[in-house]
Structure 1
Amino acid sequence: MVTIKRQSWKTITALFLSILLFIPLFAPAAEAAPLLKPGSSNGDVWDLQYRLKTLDFYTQPLDGQYGPNTTAAVKRFQQEYGVPADGITGALTWRQLKKYTLNQAEMDIMAKVIYSEARGEPYKGQVAVGAVVMNRIQSSEFPNDIRGVVFQPRAFTAVDDGQYWLTPDRTAYLAAFDAVRGWDPTYESLYYFNPKTATSKWIWTRPQVVQIGNHIFAH
């Protein structure tokens, strides 16, 4: 995975707000991974552009048009993530996109997890929770999409007790963007727990990596 340096709070805020300005009225991206190429024009292109924009590969307004700017952004992504750089979004490119990026609806899920699980934690601790989610998506030990990871039975306390449905604040969204962009203060951890409240004996057997705020992160 390519690690992208954390940007300033103002830069990330500007990105987040700029993306919101271009959210269309339709729901982006179907579950399928259609072949997209120059000349394509639909909601799947909007989804593609959103994913590329979160990583700064695409810097233009989200318009759902697969033009030269989108083609160039796809090539840059392909080069960075080990896909033949032909500028066409086929199955392999979609696979990498879904492994290392989130679309707008999935970003909402990420923000909800972060807010419900870590809203009382320092900012770094909130990003860390998002990083664990991304690490699980990328791991063969867990489902390969955020819905599967988050709603896996007993995976997150906040889902079990209903706090997941609270409305996340702006900080949670900023932390979500940082986590998706590659900031991982957990050093590829797949688990975390609060040592003061953890009741699982199993979680204590995991190799501990770092403590951030009230959470211990582990492999």
Structure 2
Amino acid sequence: MYNSYLSNNILQSIGVLTSLKRLILSNTGLIGPLPNKGWCDLWNVEELDLSENELEGSIPSCFSNLISLQFMDISDNGIEVASSFDSFANSLDREPTFQARTNSPKLQLKLLSMANCKTKGLIQESPNFLYYQYDLRYIDLSDNNFGGHNPSWLLENNTRLQQFLVAGSSFKGPLRLPKQANVDMFEVDMSADISSF
């Protein structure tokens, strides 16, 4: 349904499609917060693309139940990236280091794009949900005005990471590369946002 206009009503009734594997609602004119109902029933969805809309607020906590989800793109929305994933890891210790996989949430993403979510002010920390991801191949946190320490732990935890995109952030300190070489990595973008100069 890419590049077509849809009513927000589709978001409230989407849960009836319980066998759905791919849901691409990019650039479809969706406006406002994501509903708290319906999403929890998409047990089989593997790919979710909600990019280029005018969605706002937080990701509903029931997204943590979508254990088949591997690819998620919420970029170019007004979604609050700092708080959206707090409920996903609220029962786990919050340490920016590799966590034992037995303590990790069942939801493990391979692709996560949260670029340009129109955040207000400097966000001092990356979403703590990311501390427990260890199978990412692509992550794009660009243009969200993240601050705090460089998220070197993302590179350490995700040994198959291929693209690490955090341009337009205000991270401090050195980026520590993993002790083990990652032969799959082919793009790292930590460039400054030129509009901030």
TM-score (norm 1): 0.25
Answer with 1 or 2: which has the greater Rg.
1
Report which of the two has the higher share of strand. 2
TM-score (norm 2): 0.27
- Choose between structure 1 and 2 for higher RCO, CA contacts under 8 A separated by at least 6 residues: 1
Report which of the two has the higher share of helix. 1
